[in-house]
Amino acid sequence: MCVNMDVDEARRVIEALIFASTRPIRAEEIAQVIGFDAETTTALIHQLKSEYDSMRRGIQVIEVAGGYQMATRPELAPYIEKVERTPKGQGLSRAALETLAVIAYKQPITRGEIEALRGVRVDAVLATLLERGLIREVGRKETLGRPILYGTTPEFLRYFGMKSLSELPELKMPGRSNTQPQSG
């Protein structure tokens, strides 16, 4: 691996790395490969991102789940779906989205706590969210019965196109301090 590359070469390598990666690749990983410091690497990645944007390419560089990834633009989805044989998965139900919102903001949280907030049983919804990899068990609450605690996954961030949980919009709690999502 060449660590003494010039900036032009580094740009090309960055593009290739992001393209080749099947998961969001972190700036530090790229920095390690090209031998540049993290700050310069991030600047170069953002330069590449802007180039794709300014040229209105069909591909964009997205920042998601703590890394960078190549992705198509949403408006081109109908064309991709003409050749893509895998059916587009169903979106989440309203109940699943609401449960997910509670988990995202209140994590780690037990099933009982979610149910107390939502007023309805959530076992089926939790099973769906677990199956789709959007939430996971993150531990047990040290209380009677040691109930399972749930939290969101990196897949949750990818699914909603977020860099991190800090991108969750601030909750508008009337009459009290706003709830900030916990990091994780």
Instruction: Select the residue interacting with other proteins from 84, 137, 140, 166 (CB under 8 A).
Output: 84
Contact 17, 36 (CB under 8 A): no
- Supply the minimum distance, in Å, between the C-beta of residue 94 and other proteins: 5
Contact 4, 35 (CB under 8 A): yes
Other Cβ atoms less than 10 A from the Cβ of 101: the count is 13
Compose the 10-39 pattern: x for residues touching other proteins by CB under 8 A, - for all others: ---------x-xxx----------------
User: How far from each other are the two terminal CA atoms of the chain, in whole angstroms?
Assistant: 33
Q: Nearer Cβ to other proteins, position 145 or 169?
A: 169
161 near other proteins (CB under 8 A)? yes
Q: Is 64 helix (H, G, I), strand (E, B) or coil?
A: strand
5 near other proteins (CB under 8 A)? no
57 near other proteins (CB under 8 A)? no
Instruction: Select the residue interacting with other proteins from 5, 17, 48, 95 (CB under 8 A).
Output: 95
- Cis check for the bond before 108: say yes or no (omega within 30 of 0): yes
Q: Is 137 helix (H, G, I), strand (E, B) or coil?
A: strand
69 near other proteins (CB under 8 A)? yes
- Supply the minimum distance, in Å, between the C-beta of residue 7 and other proteins: 25
Query: DSSP of 153-175, one letter per residue?
Result: -HHHHHHTT-SSGGGSPPP--TT
175 near other proteins (CB under 8 A)? yes
- Supply the minimum distance, in Å, between the C-beta of residue 178 and other proteins: 10
97 near other proteins (CB under 8 A)? yes
**Helices assigned H by DSSP within 23-176:** 27-34, 38-54, 77-83, 94-106, 111-118, 123-131, 154-159
Q: Which positions lie near other proteins, rule CB under 8 A?
A: 19, 21-23, 62, 69-75, 77, 80, 84-86, 88-89, 91-95, 97-98, 100-102, 104-105, 116-120, 125, 132-133, 136, 153-155, 158-162, 168-169, 171-175, 179
